[in-house]
Amino acid sequence: MSYITPGKVYLVGAGPGDPGLMTLRGKTLLEHANVVVYDALVSPAILSMIGAQAVQIYGGKRSGRHSAPQAEITQQLIQLAQEHAVVVRLKGGDPFMFGRGGEEMADLIAAGVPVEVVPGVTSGIAAPAYAGIPLTHRDYSSSVAFITGHEAVDKYRPSVNWQALAKGAETLVVYMGVQNLGRIVEELLQAGRSPDTPVALVRWGTLPEQTELFATLATVVTQIQVQDFQPPAVAVIGEVVNLRQHLKP
């Protein structure tokens, strides 16, 4: 407890779900927190680590089912920091990997609230690993890109440059991309990626209910429909997907 500073907000990465992947620092903070504001994708096994003394507040966000606007959640954290010694903002995966942790940290610092970030294992690395897919391999991929697939379809000037990514990285890892995968596939094919490029989708990665779908750029959209494959899932695009045949435990 000596290295926990009172009067601070801790942005803690909960990891991808498997409690064995939670960091020791994160676990210690959950055990001593006064209040924990947790996200939707934090697994029950991780929530069970929270000490009995802590107030638990749901602050999760899921597509189409947001509990509260981001600004409201940040304002809540500022208020809680004035009332409690140890406030934990528990975020799925890693706070800085498509978790809006950077935005929350900037707003907290601007409000004069001390903040510490505790990194977590991100699902974009853990889920493929549990499916037997290495993101890099000396013979198949020396580059990997992590991308959000959650941009609105009608967004003006999308910030993701799929044309550049198709040529710039051998392995693509797409977060939150199931709903927009049709548009993503179209962009990659237009940029010159082969229709035969292997694709893997890993749902609920690292958890007992983990499920996987394997296809190619040419077939993945149809396979999602046929199998009624639902989010949340991580997509891996690249030749490394084929290594699962040799590396899956």
Hey, which residues are catalytic here?
39, 61, 176
Tokens describing residue 131 = 């499916």
Question: What is d(CA 183, CA 5) in angstroms, rounded to the nearest whole number?
Answer: 46
Place of tokens 């779908």: 213
Tokens describing residue 164 = 């550049």
Question: What is d(CA 140, CA 241) in angstroms, rounded to the nearest whole number?
Answer: 10
DSSP 8-class letter at 15: B
Place of tokens 């548009």: 183
Pairing of strands 144-148, 8-13: unpaired
Pairing of strands 35-38, 55-58: parallel
Q: Could you tell me if 220 and 201 are in contact, meaning their C-beta atoms sit under 8 angstroms apart?
A: yes
Distances (CA, A) of 247 to 124, 163, 205, 244: 18, 31, 16, 5
Q: Could you tell me if 116 and 33 are in contact, meaning their C-beta atoms sit under 8 angstroms apart?
A: no
